[in-house]
Structure 1
């Protein structure tokens, strides 16, 4: 009985930690859209990774963390490829073709991608009903994309889909690794691993005329570097490790709800009735997926 209660407490803590990570991530695409008014997508990607990497390096040195084992470095490289480089770069490129409000809806596909990689890499086995709810939520998002996105900006949609695949892999691999390495340690070491290359790339793509960058541009860069690239992952990977990759991953279905509100309020982007309808529908899928996740 004590063990069961402890397991439930751990899962509950994982869900709350994961939810906080989702709230932080919800500002990523609107902030990226703002930052792209002043920065090139490539520079934005490597600069945010370099800033977060320096913070991560300070953290592991200050905490005197033990270096990951030899077998863990490959997993950290997968995490870095998915969430440090792949997702930020591809979404920044996609946002040159579509609005952040439009791209946010694609995040509804991320829970399914995360769950699939959770099965492949994390050894999880959700119940059949879990896949039903997950597929319904994903199908709603795909239907929205076909209805409004594919005809308008196929390049932007293709980039977002590829970003979702890489991000799902990075989430699942990081969640699996966090069980032994720890949540903040996973993202910290992935950033440290990426730092030499990202720092050199930042110098290579260093833009002229940084003095003309707006205050909103600097604040947006700070957000995606410190919150989206580091702090959000501290809570997110802890949540995946405690609550399960597939189960907690379904919380990402809530991210469009928060993100659309930010896109409308900060960027004054139009939020259509279809966007709201899809968002509400996929949010309802979270409860069902959570019930049958384990």
Structure 2
């Protein structure tokens, strides 16, 4: 159980880094939709992890980072399962059945999942009022999706839900480990751990019709490999470690709306005035969780 209090500077830096991470993550599902429209979802998952893993290995070698301790390996495996393999694969498969807008809404549940795993795995104990704002914020996001009347596939919904649960576990576990191993080191080692699996699979699932993939498809894959799978995590894990898993994690409530804005621009999906109104409510909930940080 965490008993020490974070300094104001730590908390502020945590929120700034967390916000940058959320902005970078917001393009993940729209970019994934661009990629899976033209490529196999399994290949997209393998390629994003493989490209990011090679980059991470390169960076680790440049900075001559020491290998993780034996007692850190299990946590790194959980991060790899949740963030490198689980969520990317399940969300990619889900996007075969769902629109980008519908899938993005499930991200509104991420803060609550991250907070729950932060309690069980990170030992954090937020103020009871924190849970009130967290749940209200999640309900606002989910309620907005329902109000849009977006048709969905049960299979796609289940895949996204499982993906969000695994992602919450990976976020919380990585944040806890970042306090001792470092933010960019956590995601780097998690990616490197997955490389022995990803490299052979990359050639097995390499698409035969690679010449038909458009610039948009390659752009989507490049974005999720560089920003969603590596650079975004550097800011995100650092922010969670500095400001607290449960509290900074609430910034994820803003991710669906940033994502919808990007989907509207790149995928020509409509952004309504209702979305803007809900965004204000979500921002207030984020402010409320910050106020009741323990």
> Which TM-score tier does this pair reach, normalised by the shorter chain?
over 0.9
Partner in structure 1 of residue 98 of structure 2: 98
For residues 144 and 18 of structure 1, the distance between their equivalents in structure 2, rounded to whole angstroms, comes to: 24
Root mean square deviation, CA, Å: 1.8
1:241-260 pair list within 5 angstroms? 241-260=241-260
Is 1:36 aligned to 2:36, yes or no?
A: yes
Say which is worse superposed, 272-281 or 35-44, in terms of deviation. Answer: 272-281
For residues 190 and 141 of structure 2, the distance between their equivalents in structure 1, rounded to whole angstroms, comes to: 30
Is 1:133 aligned to 2:140, yes or no?
A: no
Specify the SS of the correspondent of 1:97: coil
Please say if residues 78 and 170 of structure 1, whose CA atoms lie closer than 8 Å, have aligned partners that are also in contact. Answer: yes
Specify the SS of the correspondent of 1:286: helix
The aligned length equals 291
Superposed CA offset, 1:135-158 (max 9, x none): 111222333455556863222221
Give how far 1:225 is off: 0.3
Is 1:120 aligned to 2:120, yes or no?
A: yes
| 1:145–1:154 Cα change, 3 Å | farther
Specify the SS of the correspondent of 1:76: helix
Is 1:72 aligned to 2:107, yes or no?
A: no
Partner in structure 1 of residue 172 of structure 2: 172
Superposed CA offset, 1:194-227 (max 9, x none): 0010111111111102111111111111110011
Superposed CA offset, 1:62-115 (max 9, x none): 110000000101100000000001111111111111111121121111000000
Specify the SS of the correspondent of 1:190: helix
- Give the alignment's TM-score, normalised by structure 2: 0.94
Partner in structure 1 of residue 222 of structure 2: 222
Give how far 1:179 is off: 0.2
| 1:142–1:5 Cα change, 3 Å | closer
For residues 73 and 250 of structure 2, the distance between their equivalents in structure 1, rounded to whole angstroms, comes to: 27
- Give the alignment's TM-score, normalised by structure 1: 0.94
Is 1:159 aligned to 2:141, yes or no?
A: no
Partner in structure 2 of residue 292 of structure 1: 292
Please say if residues 14 and 248 of structure 1, whose CA atoms lie closer than 8 Å, have aligned partners that are also in contact. Answer: yes
Partner in structure 2 of residue 205 of structure 1: 205
For residues 264 and 179 of structure 1, the distance between their equivalents in structure 2, rounded to whole angstroms, comes to: 37
| 1:143–1:257 Cα change, 3 Å | closer
For residues 5 and 159 of structure 2, the distance between their equivalents in structure 1, rounded to whole angstroms, comes to: 43
Name structure 2 gaps, 5 residues minimum: none
For residues 5 and 124 of structure 1, the distance between their equivalents in structure 2, rounded to whole angstroms, comes to: 11
Please say if residues 174 and 237 of structure 1, whose CA atoms lie closer than 8 Å, have aligned partners that are also in contact. Answer: yes
Please say if residues 50 and 195 of structure 1, whose CA atoms lie closer than 8 Å, have aligned partners that are also in contact. Answer: yes
Partner in structure 1 of residue 15 of structure 2: 15
For residues 154 and 272 of structure 1, the distance between their equivalents in structure 2, rounded to whole angstroms, comes to: 25
